[in-house]
Structure 1
Amino acid sequence: MENFVVSARKYRPSNFKSVVGQGHITTTLKNAIKNNHLAQAFLFCGPRGVGKTTCARILAKTINCQNLTADFEACNECDSCKAFNNNASFNVHELDAASNNSVDDIRNLVDQVRYAPQQGQYKVYIIDEVHMLSNQAFNAFLKTLEEPPKYAIFILATTEKHKIIPTILSRCQIFDFNRIQINDIAEHLRYIAGEEKIEAEEEALRLIATKADGALRDALSIFDLIVTYSAGVKLTYQETISNLHILDYDYYFKVVEGLLAGNISNLLLIFDEILKNGFDGHNFIVGLSEHLRDLMVCKDPATVELIQVSDGTKERYLEQSKLCGISFLLSALHICNQCDIQYKASKNQRLHVELALMKMAKIPQAIHLATVAQEESKKKA
């Protein structure tokens, strides 16, 4: 039986072109290689799972490649690239600062820097989670980082830039990685599903991308989980929401229909069904706030693109937004926001959410009465 390799490793980018959603980083690094403007030390900052260590490894491989392509990518065919791909390169040293954060660990690293590479142009030192180094270790590293040998390049990676002392920051060329956009993650998942010959529904891939919160590695882990759950045949939206324990869009569309109709009994029954399915009242009210926000966004054609859903779901949002007035949406959002803020302090949390739903159900009637009163005052005037 063949050993399973998680998608995050199997489809890890091998060149700058295949890095997802970090074009501003990869373009700068390729231009630095092209123009021979490589800094002595780089600091890659950003949230987890966005490609910091991956870009560090690609940069290390590319600058030692013996046969760069026309667009300054690693060839993956020369001895240096093959050694790197097989984890057998003597020119690349990786250190995990989370478990090697003492002065002695940094001194050992500094001692290694003294020796020039036996083959290739550069020795590259990748230090992951560099913010975990102690202050003493940072200070022991300062001189080497400022004036390294011409063949040594340091690439530091961190998720917490604010924990790094200013004297280290001033010696590095800093690259800030972005959270990856939902569309980019969904597109990458679609590519992997195609490679693995898995049929996947568009809405399921977008849901996974949304749940990952900008981290591609998290998205790939969720993707593997759902594929295993569905026996690797077909990735459906229903199986995805069931496995991830996420409330379906349909619930929120039904709730807003109930609010517009002022049907309190129906709203209470829907909320009861949601609770019986094991969902938390707080998650429901937060999800309802997001749904109302998306309806607000759909009121203006210029902002429709701000909602990251499939075309079919976007049509449903557009249709429902036509039935909702701005006053209703703003008032409902205010009530949801207050319910969210006060939820944890409430002694009876179920009643707290039910009261919010009742208040929102009365908004259309209140708006109607206010409109009638305004028209009557105009007639008298």
Structure 2
Amino acid sequence: MPAQALYLKYRPQSFDDVQGQDHITHTLKNALVLNRIAHAYLFTGTRGTGKTSTARILAKAVNCLDPDVTKRPCNKCAICRAINEERLLDLVEIDAASNTGVDNIRDLREKVDFRPNEARYKVYIIDEAHMLSNAAFNALLKTLEEPPPHVIFILATTEVNRVPATITSRCQRFDFKRASLQELMDQLGAIAKQEGMELEPAALELVARQANGSFRDGTSLLDQLTAYSGDTITLQHVQVLLGAASRELIHEIVASITARDVGRGITALDHAVDAGADPRQVARDVVDYLRGVLMFTVQSDMLLNVGEEVRSEMRALAAQTNAEQVSRAIRLFSQAALDLRHSASPTLPLEMALVEATLDPAPIAASAPTASSRAAAASSNPFVPSTTAVAQKREPAFQRVPAPSKKAKASAPPTAHDEPEPSLGKLSISAVKQHWGDLIARFQKVNKSSAAYLRDAEPLTLKGDELTIGFFYPLHAERFNNDKDAVSQFNKIISQTFETKVHLKCIVSPKRAKMQAAQDDPLIRAGMNLGGKVSNIIDEEEEDSE
């Protein structure tokens, strides 16, 4: 039979055993004394803070047989012993991560109506409640709002934001906070003493700091250290197991950042990695140490849970730097910890973060250059024209002119649209085709909307003074021909361009029918099925002319 894990062996069995959650245990004990037990509770908080353990203690307390309410749970009566031995049928623990569907909740609703077998209340503990589906939450709503008088629901979750507000509003919510460093050290120290371990104070502090506010994580790490080093645990044992660098090396790295000494920091970083430290753990330790220095720079050092020796070191480093440099270094090393996951080099992201943290940040905006600096820069660059040449070409941005009189307004020069365009030579169908794009560009200045129809059109024939234009789409030909202003404006542009009067005739281009006939050809259709398309059809006459 495997040995019992320490976090299970020392799991809290009463409200007094729960550490760091006095605001919750005090409220629940008062509710028991006043007989004001709620029908639904919601326990939320980070992992390892005692949510499920408190739920089991509450289940024992509401069903305890001890006549003195203040002593519940007594852990001596038949109900308490049955719960401790996990054989009470009236306590139902549901793992919502593996029972997420609506069918599981329907099965629960069918069973809640049955009375308890032995206990006073039937207690349902739904762990990881945020994993339930929306349909499951909806199925639970009515039962959670008006449960039978003999049923109590306790929902535990680490992500309360994923629990619907309709569920939260039907429960009494209790937020479990992370344990402080001192609370963790006291708890782990008591466990180590009961287990007969010899734990160095520095090792105990590092284990508690690594637990990051979680009692379960700290106890599990202590259990792992016992298997690694036996009953005597030193700081070096903890550092080797965690892959952490020594505090002296971490201090040396941070000191090199404040002193802006890159070589000193790289040397300390190499020593830490060569000693077996995990680069990601080094990055996390540097960020944690920099946070302490930042607290001193902003005069908030009362929030730090560190020893007096470390506190004096951080205070001395804070006097050599400023909050801007420290916060920038924190961002760089935090990003380096993420980049290390995918980096080909085990230390390159850390080295880059160290170099950037020691350099002065680039200025955000430079001051406006003076005339002398512009001249010096221009003289040193052979590709920049001289200042005098630029000044001669540059026109003044503003020019004061007298206001025009009414007579001047009446005799104002024609606008750009009224000015005649330069002639393009003698009128011919080849000349019109050659300058078709220029004609459309000139027409777009006076009629932008109708010019779009001409982009799919082409000049076909010129007989006398009649120019025939073929549109590929019948709708475009109809709309352009019906717009008398567009016809007259385009007619005027062509006449002014070639200095010859012409009349326009708008028809559907014969190429449209040829294009449709070509697309019906089996060979061409096979090419289109392979991704090709028919872009143009060249007549034999056009080929001969070309």
TM-score (norm 1): 0.83
Answer yes or no: is 1:237 the counterpart of 2:231: no
Answer yes or no: is 1:293 the counterpart of 2:286: no
CA radius of gyration, larger in: 2
Question: Offset of 1:10 from its aligned partner?
Answer: 0.3
Give the letter for the 1:192 counterpart: I
In structure 1, the residue matched to 2:34 is 35
| Alignment check: 8 A CA contact 1:281 1:349 kept | no
Question: Offset of 1:274 from its aligned partner?
Answer: 2.3
What do the CA deviations read for 1:74-117 (whole angstroms, capped 9, x no partner)? 11111111211221212211111111122221122112211112
What do the CA deviations read for 1:45-97 (whole angstroms, capped 9, x no partner)? 11111111111100001110010546342111111112112212122111111
CA, structure 1 residues 46+358, in 2 after alignment: closer, same or farther (shift >3 Å)? closer
Q: Distance in 1 between matches of 2:319 and 2:80?
A: 59
| Alignment check: 8 A CA contact 2:291 2:330 kept | no
What do the CA deviations read for 1:123-155 (whole angstroms, capped 9, x no partner)? 111111111112222222121111111111111
Answer yes or no: is 1:307 the counterpart of 2:300: no
The percent of aligned pairs where both chains have the same amino acid is: 37
List aligned pairs for 1:77-156, cutoff 5 A: 77-156=76-155
Q: Distance in 1 between matches of 2:157 and 2:318?
A: 46
Give the letter for the 2:330 counterpart: N
In structure 1, the residue matched to 2:333 is 340
- 3-state SS of 2:66 partner: coil
Bigger share in helix: 1
Q: Structure 1 unaligned runs (5+)?
A: 361-381
| Alignment check: 8 A CA contact 1:68 1:74 kept | no
In structure 1, the residue matched to 2:15 is 16
Q: Distance in 2 between matches of 1:152 and 1:338?
A: 50
| Alignment check: 8 A CA contact 1:292 1:329 kept | no
Question: Offset of 1:3 from its aligned partner?
Answer: 4.0
Number of positions where the alignment pairs a residue of Structure 1 with one of Structure 2: 353
| Alignment check: 8 A CA contact 1:116 1:151 kept | yes
Question: Offset of 1:287 from its aligned partner?
Answer: 3.1
- 3-state SS of 2:305 partner: coil
In structure 1, the residue matched to 2:311 is 317
CA, structure 1 residues 185+283, in 2 after alignment: closer, same or farther (shift >3 Å)? closer
Q: Distance in 2 between matches of 1:356 and 1:288?
A: 15
CA, structure 1 residues 133+293, in 2 after alignment: closer, same or farther (shift >3 Å)? closer
In structure 2, the residue matched to 1:353 is 353
**Range 245-254 or range 215-224, more displaced:** 245-254
Answer yes or no: is 1:267 the counterpart of 2:265: yes
- 3-state SS of 2:272 partner: helix
| Alignment check: 8 A CA contact 1:285 1:340 kept | yes
Q: Distance in 1 between matches of 2:326 and 2:288?
A: 9
Q: Distance in 2 between matches of 1:57 and 1:269?
A: 52
In structure 2, the residue matched to 1:61 is 60
What do the CA deviations read for 1:291-314 (whole angstroms, capped 9, x no partner)? 2432454579x85443223x4xx2
Q: Distance in 2 between matches of 1:48 and 1:259?
A: 34
Question: Offset of 1:196 from its aligned partner?
Answer: 0.4
Give the letter for the 1:317 counterpart: R
Q: Distance in 2 between matches of 1:285 and 1:116?
A: 56
Q: Distance in 2 between matches of 1:256 and 1:315?
A: 16
CA, structure 1 residues 323+84, in 2 after alignment: closer, same or farther (shift >3 Å)? closer
Q: Distance in 2 between matches of 1:342 and 1:100?
A: 37
- 3-state SS of 1:328 partner: coil
Q: Find the partner of 1:247 among 245, 248, 253.
A: 245
In structure 2, the residue matched to 1:167 is 166
- 3-state SS of 1:62 partner: helix
Q: Distance in 2 between matches of 1:118 and 1:99?
A: 26
CA, structure 1 residues 276+33, in 2 after alignment: closer, same or farther (shift >3 Å)? same
| Alignment check: 8 A CA contact 2:244 2:282 kept | no
CA, structure 1 residues 283+220, in 2 after alignment: closer, same or farther (shift >3 Å)? closer
What do the CA deviations read for 1:146-169 (whole angstroms, capped 9, x no partner)? 111111111111111111122211
CA, structure 1 residues 69+226, in 2 after alignment: closer, same or farther (shift >3 Å)? farther
| Alignment check: 8 A CA contact 1:267 1:357 kept | no
Give the letter for the 1:117 counterpart: P
In structure 2, the residue matched to 1:328 is 321
Question: Offset of 1:339 from its aligned partner?
Answer: 2.9
TM-score (norm 2): 0.60
In structure 2, the residue matched to 1:373 is none
Q: Distance in 1 between matches of 2:44 and 2:98?
A: 19
What do the CA deviations read for 1:272-326 (whole angstroms, capped 9, x no partner)? 22233354656545533432432454579x85443223x4xx22431x3464454
Higher relative contact order (CA 8 A, sep 6+): 1
**Range 34-43 or range 134-143, more displaced:** 134-143
Give the letter for the 1:337 counterpart: I
